[in-house]
Each structure stands twice: as C-alpha cells, then as structure tokens.
Amino acid sequence: MAKDYYGILGVPRDATADDIKRAYRKLARQYHPDINPDPVAQERFKEINSAYEVLSDDQKRQIVDLGGDPLSPGAGMGPGGPGAGGPFVGFQDIMDAFFGTAAGGARGPRPRTRPGADAILPLPLELNETAFGVEAPITVDTATLCQTCRGAGTAPGTHLATCEVCGGRGEVQSVQRTFLGQVVSSRPCSACAGYGTVITNPCPGCAGDGRVRTRRTLTVKIPAGVEDQMRIRLAGQGEVGPGGGPAGDLYVEIHERPHDVFSRKGDDLHCRVTLPMTAAALGTRLTIKTLDGEENIECRAGTQPGSTLRIRGKGVPHLRGAGRGDLFVHLDVRTPTKLDAEQERILREFAKTRGEEVAELSKQGGFFSRMRDAFNGHA
Ligand SMILES: [Zn+2]
Ligand SMILES: [Zn+2]
C-alpha cells in the first residue's frame, strides 16, 4: 500500500513546489526533535521528511501520482505487479523486481565516503540548572576524522588500487535464464565490498576506516526552562562517517535529577509543608524555600490538611516566551502526639468550650490495645 505523502504534508495533489516547501517547513518546525522531544513527534518528523523527499523530487512525485511508492523496494510498480504501473515502469524496474535491488539505486561503485551517524549523550542536571539554564562541559566520545590520512584510509604516500575482480565497477554481473529469456543481473563485488577500489596499504592511524574514536570536551549551553528528556542538537558534532564523511549531529539529552524538596510538573513546582495543628488553627506566617531564595507567605487561620497555597511566578521559567510557572505549597497538618498531663488538660478544656465530646480512654490502654491483649492471652 503506497503511503499518502500528500496527506502527510497536508497539501492537495495539485500543490505547487512552493506549496510543498512551505507546508514542509511549517511541519518540520513543529515536529523537530529539538523542539518536540516526544517519541511520537519524532516518528512524525521522519514521516514529514520522507514525504518532502518524495514530493520535492519530480521523478519520485510522478511515481506517487501513478500509485506507486518510490521509497519502498520494488518502487515504481503499481499494485498489480510488474508491468501494471503505467508507462514509466521500464525494464530496469522489472529487473529490480526480479533481483531485489533497490529501484533507481545508483549503479557502479559505492562511495567510500559516507555521512556519519547522529550521536546521543545523556546529560544529568539539577533542577536549578534546568530551570535557569547552564553552560555545561560535556565529554564526547565519537568517531572523528583520522588526522594521519584525513579520511582517505590509505597509508601516507600510498593510494587506493582499482579492484582487480570487478575492474573498478564495484559490481559483478552474472547471466541467468528466466522465462523472459537470458538476463544479466549484477550484484556488489565481494572482493572490494562494492567500492571498486581496495586499500592495499591501510593507514596505520585508523586501519583504513578514515576515522578514529576520540574523546573531547565541549561546552553546551542549556537554555532556561528545559525539561527532562528534551534534546539539544549540536550540528556536526556527531559521528564522522566512514572514509571521513561529514559528521552527524550530536543530541544532548537532558536528564533532570529528582529534587529533594520540589517535584516538577511542566513549569510548575510542588512542595509539601507540615504545620502543627495549632498553627493551622490560628494561622501563621511561613518561610518557604523557593528556587530563588526564601519567600514569606501567610497561612490563614483554619487551614485544613490538604489545602494548597500558590506562589505565582516562583516555578520554572518558560522555555519559550516570557514568564514562569508557579510554586504550589501543599499543606499537611500534624496532630500532636505524646501530650503531657498539662497539655492534655488544656486540650480537654478547649474541647469542652467548643462543645466537642471527647470520650476518655482507660489508663490501661484503649479499646484496641485491650483487644490485642485478649488475642495474646493477657486478658
Ligand atoms: Zn587514517
Ligand atoms: Zn571489486
């Protein structure tokens, strides 16, 4: 089933090249992994990219318009199999269908130099660092360009030699009989791995790979307001490719350490404060620790357990736009334990003035301790 590339970009089938480019830019901005770390968004970003790759290429777009999918193996064919895809299905496509090579795949030797992969590095940060931003030194261990051969893979003063098995074509041909008659197929040359050339004197620095693993220290600037799992992209700081190919990107993934006072929900912070029963009843002034320092707040008389105070603007700064989240202080009320005789007397007096009935427990222990004694044979 061919993918709906037009639908992915949200453009009509008669969209102009400009329409397609505009739609792509808008979506790419929205779903770029730098901006949107959600794995679903990343999947969507890949889809958007492949849709743009297809629709921005006249030839590939034509295949889509004929009901095919230029990105799937055996591309160029319609749903009916070989020959059913219309006038643009040529002999090459039939050969590809029979021999499993990618449609439109480049013929001839494959390049030794290929782009490098992206790298990802977790970066543990404290809450005040994710909140206010930080310049953090990071140690990166990636493939870098071999300084001995500058990526060529050959020892100094030596050169690549043409492969004798395939004569430099990178592929070898074989003749097969099929019901179409005698057909010639080609497959990558195993002597040179399809490169068409061989390294007879490998570079001593990299053993012919053109790159070496290196450890280096970079400084990454973390903006204020980043969240756990977000990724910061450092363009061109990823792995150098085989043969010294251009480096991929490095993604620094934020890992926010749990804080012992605050828990974070988006840009809001939450903390718990326990008040003695008397303070909750009478009202009090509290000094609350925030990310910025101490803050005095008032707790009104008659505060109930589980109530919440909100300190505006003392949460985490918003990553985009001005302003900050809020700090929510959740209040617990502690009931006193171990009253001495005088304290108990005052509390009973207090209860009496409010007309609250308080049954007295026997001095030998309450109902439940008597039950327990019964079970344990002390009764
Ligand atoms: Zn080298
Ligand atoms: Zn070869």
For 12-43, write each residue's pLDDT tens digit: 888 889 999 889 888 888 888 777 777 788 88
pLDDT one-digit tens code per residue, 197-235: 999 999 999 999 999 999 999 999 999 999 999 999 999
Which residues make up the environment of ion ligand 2, defined by Cβ < 5 Å? 163, 165-166, 189, 191-192
Q: Which ligand is nearest to the CA of 189?
A: 2
Please state which of the ranges 27-41, 44-58, 151-165 shows the lowest mean pLDDT: 27-41
Please give the Cα distance from 305 to 329 (Å, whole number). 12
CA 55 vs CA 23, 25, 221: distances in Å: 11, 13, 36
Please give the Cα distance from 36 to 29 (Å, whole number). 9
* Backbone phi and psi for residue 255, each to the nearest 5 degrees, phi listed first: -120, 105
pLDDT of residue 290: 95
Q: Which residues contact 22 (CB under 8 A, 6 or more apart)?
A: none
Q: Report which of 151, 155, 191 is spatially closest to residue 172, judged by C-alpha positions.
A: 191
Q: How far is the CA of 209 from the centre of ligand 1 (A)?
A: 7
Q: How far is the CA of 195 from the centre of ligand 2 (A)?
A: 7
Question: 314 is written with which tokens?
Answer: 């003392």
pLDDT band for 350, please (50, 70, 90 cuts): very high
pLDDT of 152 strictly over 80: yes
Please give the Cα distance from 334 to 46 (Å, whole number). 54
Q: Which residue has the tokens 């497959």?
A: 187
Question: 290 is written with which tokens?
Answer: 């925030």
Q: How far is the CA of 186 from the centre of ligand 2 (A)?
A: 12
pLDDT one-digit tens code per residue, 237-275: 999 999 999 999 999 999 999 999 999 999 999 999 999
Q: Which ligand is nearest to the CA of 171?
A: 2
Range picked from 65-69, 99-103, 354-358 for highest mean pLDDT: 354-358
Q: Which ligand is nearest to the CA of 212?
A: 1
* Residue type present at position 228: D
pLDDT of residue 330: 97
pLDDT one-digit tens code per residue, 166-183: 999 999 988 888 777 888
Q: Where are the alpha helices (DSSP H) in the chain?
A: 5-9, 17-31, 39-55, 58-65, 91-99, 127-132, 277-282, 341-353, 367-375
Q: Which ligand is nearest to the CA of 187?
A: 2
pLDDT of residue 32: 81
Please give the Cα distance from 306 to 240 (Å, whole number). 55
Q: How far is the CA of 243 from the centre of ligand 2 (A)?
A: 17
Please give the Cα distance from 20 to 170 (Å, whole number). 37
Contact in structure between 211 and 162 (CB atoms under 8 Å):
no
Q: How far is the CA of 152 from the centre of ligand 2 (A)?
A: 18
Mean per-residue pLDDT over the chain, rounded:
85
pLDDT of 333 strictly over 90: yes
Q: Which ligand is nearest to the CA of 194?
A: 2
